[in-house]
């Protein structure tokens, strides 16, 4: 059985429309994929920025002998550090319960003196362990 010419033309037209639909679907999928990719990259940047900790200065000025300064709140800490003139003994520490302080070994010459121990949910401390008034002193730690 032979297909009449009008039916053949109709069939060709339908096939070309179907091909166009497939090509159109591929084209419309590309912008959607680009949008999804851009959204994923943006979300990862937001989470990376949220994971990055900011530096907080919790003391800036002079410190008398035996003076201890601390942060106000419990946060996760990446480090604790103090800037001060060399030759004066300082200690840095953390407290996870607000009662007991875990002190790092005293340090005299490193400037800044950095306690690289990280702490989860802790208060940070800075102690002038020397027998002298020391200025300038800057105690810093990280906050989320």
The span from the CA of 127 to the CA of 104, in Å, is 10
What is the distance in angstroms between the CA of the first residue and the CA of the last residue of the chain? Answer: 79
The arithmetic mean of pLDDT across residues 89-109, rounded, is: 95
pLDDT tens-place string over residues 54-93: 999 999 999 999 999 999 999 999 999 999 999 999 999 9
Rounded distance between C-alpha atoms, residue 141 and residue 132, angstroms: 24
pLDDT-derived band of residue 49, with 50, 70 and 90 as boundaries? very low
The DSSP letter of residue 24 is H
Q: Which residues have CB under 8 Å from 21's CB, separation 6+?
A: none
């Amino acid at each position: 059985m032979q297909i009449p010419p009008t039916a053949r033309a109709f069939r060709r037209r339908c096939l070309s429309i179907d091909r166009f639909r497939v090509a159109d679907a591929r084209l419309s999928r590309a912008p959607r994929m680009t949008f999804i990719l851009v959204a994923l990259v943006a979300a990862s940047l937001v989470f990376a920025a949220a994971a990055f900790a900011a530096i907080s200065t919790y003391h800036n000025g002079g410190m008398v002998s035996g003076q201890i300064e601390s942060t106000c709140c419990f946060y996760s800490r990446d480090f604790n550090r103090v800037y001060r003139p060399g030759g004066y003994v300082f200690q840095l520490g953390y407290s996870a319960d607000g009662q007991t302080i875990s002190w790092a070994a005293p340090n005299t010459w490193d400037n800044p003196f950095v306690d690289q121990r990280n702490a989860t949910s802790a208060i940070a401390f800075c102690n002038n362990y020397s027998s002298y008034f020391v200025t300038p002193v800057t105690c810093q730690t990280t906050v989320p």
